[in-house]
């Protein structure tokens, strides 16, 4: 037992005790200034960045002094105002957005369905990974001629290429998210008798939500790019063109300020969706649950 | 000291509570053990090999037991627990709960894992405790909520019912996991080294609390650990498993060993016995 004897040689140190005087609780907590708390808001910080970018644009445009090549921020704002006031721009935006949302929703749904199927068996997983590695690198716009052949001039062709651009990127993300769900959490869910769709809905989807949301964001960006590009190539059908068509038309007529106004609208919609919709969803879910910072 | 008092205080109610837990009467429980593990051999597959984790392990857990599986790492005790939970199918032998062979995981055997991520982070403490009740369709939403709050109250957690898991410490998360398991009133509660990732002080406190809960609720517990001391403190029966492949080395009663007898000669002697049984084949350091 001497191995377990932990006593060392004789220690001459004595036990010591300290009385702790009470602390003034008010000193432990000091209020932060209004400025600091304002700077904590990401809205404020991002607004400052946007204002600085616009100022830089204005300065460069004034130095260049060539409205045909680079209209200034003020000229673009005025073109934007006229476009909105006449209702043309709003009609274009609503035409684009309605196609975009249909394609995006269908693509997201198909991605979720495909990855859900891939959860259960190896062969379905192989099917998913093979399909994604085949089609994901294929630029959506390269399918447009084929889409026109199959579906003709119209919304269906646009939706087809949109689904293609959204589906594979999202499927890769969702699949990666599902595979990253911890074994403990999986076992906990199965322990309570969860199987099949209920298992996916109650365990895998919430546990993989950070990856799902990343997939949605990427899908959204891909959808916008594809749509604008497709409209540039594809033009309008029966006078119902979208934003891409608006940009293309105005470029042909050398209304560069209108082209910029169209681009600004694309950017603004992107910023709004990212900062209002996606941010709110994240704040209410993954951030609240401590899954992401 | 306070634990000892509490134990004595609730001892009278324990038997009543236990009846509420198990509809089967005690006489038949002697005939049919709550959990019967019969000649179970478990294997797992690696890329190149099929590895035997346990070999022909047999034991019976009676109703109200605190049954501990003890062994060095690599003896397959966690694998055995996973097989009882239904996550693995035995290569040989059978596992029966109340006389029925088990097929796959089910809410009659709730597992408390060692890992803290067993609590879904998207659910609050209360929702976590309600989760198995709802997922297994044991109770409706209202009843589940009430059961959850009652159980959380029992583990002293009522105040934190609306907190999210990521705001809790490791010990608190394990308390929630235990409450979640108890709320289901499983036929057998399976614990896989639930306190191993905790600091020593918290671990000691959790052991006391678990024993106090057992006194109150009288559940049947199967507990996996690699600590001889923890096995003696928690268990009334201890199954010793040999290292790779896991085979039963001994089954001992240790109901007399407790947190308060750790210094006593009898407990020390049993520690020595267990130590010898587990490590006799190894070269002394």
- Contacts for B280-285: CB closer than 8 Å, 24+ residues apart: none
Nearest to A217 by CA among A185, A177, A180, A244: A177
pLDDT of A109-136, one tens digit each?
A: 999 999 999 988 889 999 999 999 999 8
Residues in chain B: 285
- Closest residue of chain A to B109, computed from CA coordinates: A191
Query: Does A1 score more than 60 pLDDT?
Result: no
Question: Alpha-carbon distance B77 to A23, whole Å?
Answer: 51
pLDDT of B153-166, one tens digit each?
A: 888 887 888 999 99
> Mean pLDDT over residues A200-229, rounded?
92
> Mean pLDDT over residues A27-41, rounded?
83
**A177 in Cβ contact with A210 (< 8 Å):** yes
Contact A290 B135 (CB under 8 A): no
Query: Does B110 score more than 90 pLDDT?
Result: yes
**B164 in Cβ contact with B121 (< 8 Å):** yes
pLDDT score for A292 = 84
pLDDT of A3-19, one tens digit each?
A: 455 666 677 787 777 77
What single DSSP character describes residue B35?
A: E
pLDDT score for B126 = 93
Tell me which residue in A185, A193, A198 faces B120 most closely, judged by beta carbons: A185
Contact B109 A189 (CB under 8 A): no
**A48 in Cβ contact with A54 (< 8 Å):** no
**A259 in Cβ contact with A251 (< 8 Å):** yes
Give A225's contacts (C-beta < 8 A, 6+ positions apart).
A165
- Contacts for A175-178: CB closer than 8 Å, 24+ residues apart: A175/A115, A175/A118, A175/A128, A175/A129, A175/A132, A176/A211, A177/A208, A177/A209, A177/A210, A177/A211, A177/A212, A177/A214, A177/A215, A178/A115, A178/A118, A178/A119, A178/A204, A178/A208, A178/A211
- Closest residue of chain A to B132, computed from CA coordinates: A192
Query: Does B195 score more than 70 pLDDT?
Result: yes
The maximal CA–CA distance of chain B, rounded, in angstroms, is 59
Strand partners, B44: B51
pTM of the model: 0.77
Question: Alpha-carbon distance B125 to A125, whole Å?
Answer: 34
Other beta carbons within 10 Å of A100: 24
Least Cα separation, residue A290 to chain B (angstroms): 6
Least Cα separation, residue B11 to chain A (angstroms): 31
pLDDT score for B156 = 81
pLDDT score for B74 = 78
Virtual CA dihedral for A106, A112, A117, A122, nearest 10 degrees? Answer: 120
pLDDT score for B99 = 87
Average pLDDT, chain A: 88
Top pLDDT among A209 and B283 is at A209
pLDDT score for A2 = 43
pLDDT score for A7 = 60
pLDDT band at B129 (very low <50, low <70, confident <90, very high): very high
Q: Which residues of A touch B131 (CB under 8 A)?
A: 192, 202
Question: Alpha-carbon distance B64 to B21, whole Å?
Answer: 10
Strand partners, B52: B43
pLDDT of B251-276, one tens digit each?
A: 888 877 877 777 788 888 888 888 88
pLDDT of A222-243, one tens digit each?
A: 999 898 888 887 765 545 678 8
Q: Which residues of B touch A291 (CB under 8 A)?
A: 121-122, 166
pLDDT of B12-55, one tens digit each?
A: 344 444 444 444 444 444 568 899 999 899 888 877 888 888 88
Choose, out of B121, B167, B192, the residue to mutate when testing the contact with A (most A CBs < 10 Å). Answer: B121
pLDDT score for B15 = 40
Percent of chain A whose predicted confidence (pLDDT) is above 70: 95
pLDDT score for B55 = 87
pLDDT score for B281 = 66
pLDDT of A134-174, one tens digit each?
A: 998 998 888 888 888 898 888 888 899 999 999 999 999 99
Nearest to B207 by CA among B165, B276, B262: B262
pLDDT score for A239 = 58
The maximal CA–CA distance of chain A, rounded, in angstroms, is 99
């Amino acid at each position: 037992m001497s191995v377990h004897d932990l006593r060392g040689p004789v220690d001459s140190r004595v036990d010591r005790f300290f009385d702790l005087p009470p602390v003034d609780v008010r000193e432990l907590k000091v209020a932060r200034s209004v400025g600091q708390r304002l700077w904590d808001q990401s809205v404020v910080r991002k607004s400052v960045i946007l204002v600085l970018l616009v100022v830089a644009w204005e300065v460069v445009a004034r130095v260049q002094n060539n409205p045909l090549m680079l209209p200034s921020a003020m000229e673009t704002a005025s073109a934007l105002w006229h476009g909105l006031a006449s209702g043309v721009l709003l009609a274009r935006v609503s035409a684009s957005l309605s196609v975009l949302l249909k394609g995006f929703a269908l693509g997201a749904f198909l991605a979720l369905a495909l990855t859900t199927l891939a959860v259960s068996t190896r062969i379905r997983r192989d099917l998913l990974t093979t399909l994604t590695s085949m089609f994901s690198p294929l630029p959506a716009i390269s399918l447009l001629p084929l889409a026109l052949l199959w579906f003709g001039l119209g919304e269906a062709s646009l939706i087809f290429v949109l689904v293609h651009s959204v589906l594979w990127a999202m499927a890769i993300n969702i699949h990666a998210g599902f595979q990253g769900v911890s074994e403990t959490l999986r076992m906990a869910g199965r322990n309570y008798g969860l199987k099949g769709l209920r298992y996916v809905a109650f365990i895998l989807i919430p546990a993989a939500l950070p990856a799902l949301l990343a997939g949605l964001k990427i899908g959204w960006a891909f959808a916008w790019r594809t749509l604008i590009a497709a409209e540039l190539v594809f033009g309008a059908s029966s006078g119902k063109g979208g934003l891409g068509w608006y940009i293309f038309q105005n470029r042909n007529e050398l209304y560069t300020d209108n082209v910029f106004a169209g681009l600004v609208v694309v950017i603004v919609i992107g910023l709004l969706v990212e900062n209002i919709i996606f941010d709110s969803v994240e704040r209410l879910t993954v951030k609240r649950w401590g899954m992401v910072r | 000291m306070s634990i000892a008092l509490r134990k004595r205080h609730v001892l009278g109610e324990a038997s009543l509570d236990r009846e509420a837990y198990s509809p089967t009467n005690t006489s038949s429980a002697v005939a049919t053990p709550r959990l019967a593990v019969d000649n179970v051999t478990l294997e797992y597959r690696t890329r190149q090999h099929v590895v035997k984790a346990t070999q022909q392990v047999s034991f019976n857990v009676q109703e109200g037991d605190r049954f501990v599986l003890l062994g060095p790492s690599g003896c397959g005790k966690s694998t055995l627990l996973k097989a009882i939970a239904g996550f693995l199918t035995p290569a040989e032998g059978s596992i029966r709960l109340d006389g029925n062979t088990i097929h796959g995981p089910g809410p009659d055997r709730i597992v408390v894992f060692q890992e803290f991520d067993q609590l879904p982070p998207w659910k609050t403490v209360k929702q976590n405790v309600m989760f198995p009740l709802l997922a297994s369709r044991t109770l409706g939403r209202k009843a589940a909520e009430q059961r959850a709050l009652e159980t959380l109250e029992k583990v002293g957690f009522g105040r934190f019912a609306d907190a999210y898991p990521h705001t809790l410490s490791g010990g608190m998360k394990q308390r929630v996991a235990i409450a979640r398991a108890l709320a289901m009133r499983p036929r057998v509660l399976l614990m896989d080294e639930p306190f191993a990732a905790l600091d020593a002080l918290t671990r000691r406190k959790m052991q006391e609390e678990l024993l106090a809960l057992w006194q109150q609720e009288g559940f049947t517990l199967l507990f996996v650990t690699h600590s001889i001391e923890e096995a003696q403190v928690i268990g009334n029966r201890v199954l010793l498993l040999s290292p790779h492949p896991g085979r039963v080395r001994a089954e001992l009663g240790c109901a007399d060993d407790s947190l308060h007898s750790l210094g006593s000669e009898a407990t020390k002697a049993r520690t020595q016995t267990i130590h010898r049984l587990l490590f006799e084949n190894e070269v002394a350091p």
